[in-house]
Amino acid sequence: MTEFEKMQQGLPYSPVDPELMQFRFASRRLCQQLNAVDPADTDKQDMVITKLFARRGKGVVVEAPFTCTYGMNLHLGNNVAFGPNCTVIDSGHIEIGNNVLIGPAVGLYTTTQALLPLEQQNGDNEISLPIIIGNNVVIGGNSVIKAGVSIGEGAVIDAGSVVEGDVEPFAVVSGNPAAVVRRLR
């Protein structure tokens, strides 16, 4: 099994694999292009976004600067907006629904570190788990969404929150670690 296949299946993998490094270099180049585009040149932005992401719906807005690790694991619905300074570590699959607002300086991190000494010794020291974000979600600025998290429809993540576990639909969560502070329904 290749390191890419291991990464996609949530198994321990080596991030220094040459194939994975080439994928990351290609993504970094596209992020540099996106960040260099004149904000008024929406046609060029759309072209780069189409190349960068696995799937994107209509009405996707990505404010510069923006960084992602692979891009190919990022699936966006319609009307998704990323504020400036977002960082997406998309070693694992990330699915973002429709009508999602992601505030400035938000981090989506699908990667965790292997904890067992033998895995670290063998170089298989990363594990990637998916992040799923439902429709009509708002993620406040400076929040972190960690690997393996699902955020339900209509949820609100308060600014500065660290989300380590799943978020129920229509829940408002806040804090580090994020906890439910109220329900919208």
Q: Please tell me whether the overall predicted TM-score, pTM, comes out greater than 0.85 for this model.
A: yes
Side chain identity, residue 43: D
Return the C-alpha torsion angle 35, 105, 130, 149, nearest 10. Answer: -160
Q: Which residue has the tokens 């404010």?
A: 63
Contacts with 83 (C-beta within 8 Å, 6 or more apart), sequence order: 63, 102, 103, 104, 105, 106, 141
What pLDDT is recorded for position 122? 65
Residue 60 and residue 39 in contact, taking contact as beta carbons nearer than 8 Å: no
pLDDT per residue rounded down to tens, the chain (185 residues): 999 999 999 988 889 999 999 999 999 999 999 999 999 999 999 999 999 999 999 999 999 999 999 999 999 999 999 999 999 999 999 999 999 999 999 999 999 876 666 666 666 688 999 999 999 999 999 999 999 999 999 999 999 999 999 999 999 999 999 999 999 98
What's the confidence (pLDDT) of residue 185?
82
Q: Distance between CA 94 and CA 161 in Å, rounded?
A: 19
Give the DSSP per-residue string, 109-131.
E-EEE--SHHHHHTT--EEE--E
